[in-house]
Amino acid sequence: MKKLFTSPLFILGIVLIIVLILCLYPYSVLVHKIAFPPPDGSFSLKYFMGILAKKSTFVAVKNTLLISALTALGSVLIAVPLAWLLSRSDLPGQSRWRTLFLLPYAIPPYIGAIAWVALANPTNGYLNGLYGEGVLNIYTHGGLVWVMSSFFYTFVLLSMLTAMDRTDPSLEEAARLSGASPLRVFFQITLPIVKPAMMSGILLVFLASAASFGIPALIGGPARIFVVTTKIYTFQQTGSFSGLYLAGALSVLLLIMGVMGLLLNQYFSTQAMRTIGGKSSRVSRVNLGRAKPWAIVFVVFMFVVLFVLPVASITLSALSPYQGKIAWSELGLQHFRRVFFETQETPRAIMNSFKLAVGAATATMILGMLLAYLRVKTKMKGRGALEIIAAVPYATPGTVLAFALILTFSQSFLGFPISLYNTLALIGLAYTAHYLNFAMRTMSDGLGQVDDVLAEAARVAGAGWFTTLRTIWFPLMKPALVASWFLVFMPAMTELTMTILLTGPGLETLGTLIFQMQDYSDASGGGAAVLSLCTIAGVISVNGLVKLLSQGKYGL
């Protein structure tokens, strides 16, 4: 019996069952309960027809599609020139600029919403204080698109930089030797080659925008601009049975959109791998010449607007006693003292977030390692599907996953009377499912670069599978293990989109507390800025630690 429980087939079989339950089963429950609602459980489309009969639903869907499309366009306009300057020109300090421009990727987007509300609030925004009240108004469709674009452009930039780094530069160099201008070379040679990777990034931006909750809630809410995610939240907050199932029907629509996006992304990723070959020579950088000072000015300006300005506004809000007004002589730590020593929810929220982040990071690290081993180091049939299965909860909107878990674990589970509703355990399951893909991809990358010779030698010497895993694979994979743990820990520590639907009394997290302080409960202001500033500092510190521990292999 002991041999059975420690055999690789048994352990890996248990892992597969856990992954299927976490990543696929909740969605099947969601679809089944909406299509076969209680009390009789017969097939019915009344909840789908119910949301289609509401004019507000069509408005929310239209807003979601329009804002997501415009955000994708805005992200491209930001990312494309930056990608060229950071990969094909002789711009000074390229590696550092890459890290700086990718930092927003690791910062929760709702913190960006808080920053731009402080900057461009029509009544007391810092920028309106300089240029006149009402000159800038963040509470518009344009404001919503700008804030999303200023964070989600990193998806396109990261995809393009990765593709351009792997592209054989010989065609570009041949075109330049033939007299083609750098601009013509980029549009006629470089861009067509990296187009699949760029399209993958654009699709990720579209899906991330459609799935976003924090920015639409904090900016779109006051402007009465509703999207699908905020509509789901509104339905769920009614507390009625009908509202719950209407939210579920809307979640199914988002689920369909997410699955279609996942399939399209797999297609674009496959096309990118086919069109981008290995590098055969070092890239010959384009000499910017007289344009170099202007390029530096452009890069500095973009970084100031995209990162420095929002961080500065949050810092001022955290230190200033008057929101929207800069009183240098009165800057102080009064908000820090109030938030950390006088607000009773803060210690509980930080502790809850820490427990959830540690649990999710540890669980995804172990599951991701075993799944990556199955995918990379075994010949199991269908192992290629593991990555797709693990990617489903990440590719589909967090609101959909959260709602599916609510329906799955609210009363019973697989016939057992298990209820996890309004518990930290349910939030932890959501984090583990959502971020499992992070860990698996990191582990797969690490395992793919480790030769099997040591493991084979261990097996020849008589070591069992578990011993080989413990003494060979885990030590060799230490950098990837550490990186995957921190890459899950940081976003889980500040997660909002799923948590806002799953949280209950006494279950505050850092993300929900920041949202609540910004949205309505922090009458004196500054509390959300204090926690946001601490979050930004934590993100930058963790990124530096990951790069240090992995010797620059992981991190931004």
Looking at residue 94, what is its pLDDT?
85
Looking at residue 4, what is its pLDDT?
46
CB atoms within 10 A of CB 342: 8
Angle CA 283–286–291, to nearest 5: 155
Q: Let me know whether 354 and 487 are in one domain.
A: yes
Which of 297, 325, 353 is the endpoint of a domain? 325
546 in a structural domain: yes
Closest CA to 233 of 248, 215, 223: 248
**Residue 106 and residue 307: Cα distance in Å, rounded?**
12
**Residue 97 and residue 193: Cα distance in Å, rounded?**
24
Ranges under pLDDT 50 in the chain: 4-5, 279-280
Asked whether the bond before 216 is cis by omega within 30 degrees of 0, the reply is no
Distances (CA, A) of 97 to 79, 493, 555: 13, 26, 14
CB atoms within 10 A of CB 510: 28
Q: Let me know whether 229 and 356 are in one domain.
A: no
Q: Let me know whether 384 and 417 are in one domain.
A: yes
Domain count for the chain? 2
What HEC string does 34-79 produce? HHCCCCCCCCCCHHHHHHHCCHHHHHHHHHHHHHHHHHHHHHHHHH
pLDDT tens, position by position, 163-184? 887 777 777 777 777 777 777 8
Q: Let me know whether 71 and 147 are in one domain.
A: yes
pLDDT tens, position by position, 421-469? 788 999 999 999 999 888 888 877 777 666 667 667 767 777 666 677 7
- Secondary structure letter of residue 524 according to DSSP: T
Q: Let me know whether 353 and 275 are in one domain.
A: no
Domain carrying residue 70:
51-325
Q: Let me know whether 232 and 368 are in one domain.
A: no
Looking at residue 76, what is its pLDDT?
93
Q: Let me know whether 289 and 377 are in one domain.
A: no
Q: Let me know whether 88 and 129 are in one domain.
A: yes
Q: Let me know whether 350 and 315 are in one domain.
A: no
357 in a structural domain: yes
**Residue 241 and residue 33: Cα distance in Å, rounded?**
12
46 in a structural domain: no
Looking at residue 308, what is its pLDDT?
92
Task: Quote the crossing angle between the two packed helices 94-102 and 292-303, to the nearest 10°.
Answer: 30
Which of 294, 325, 356 is the endpoint of a domain? 325
- The pTM (predicted TM-score) of the whole model is 0.85
**In this structure, what CATH number is given to the domain that contains residue 167?**
1.10.3720.10
Strand partners, 413: 416
18 in a structural domain: no
465, with CB counted inside 10 A (0-12, 13-18, 19+), is middle
Looking at residue 75, what is its pLDDT?
94
Looking at residue 347, what is its pLDDT?
92
Q: Are 440 and 387 in contact (CB under 8 A)?
A: yes
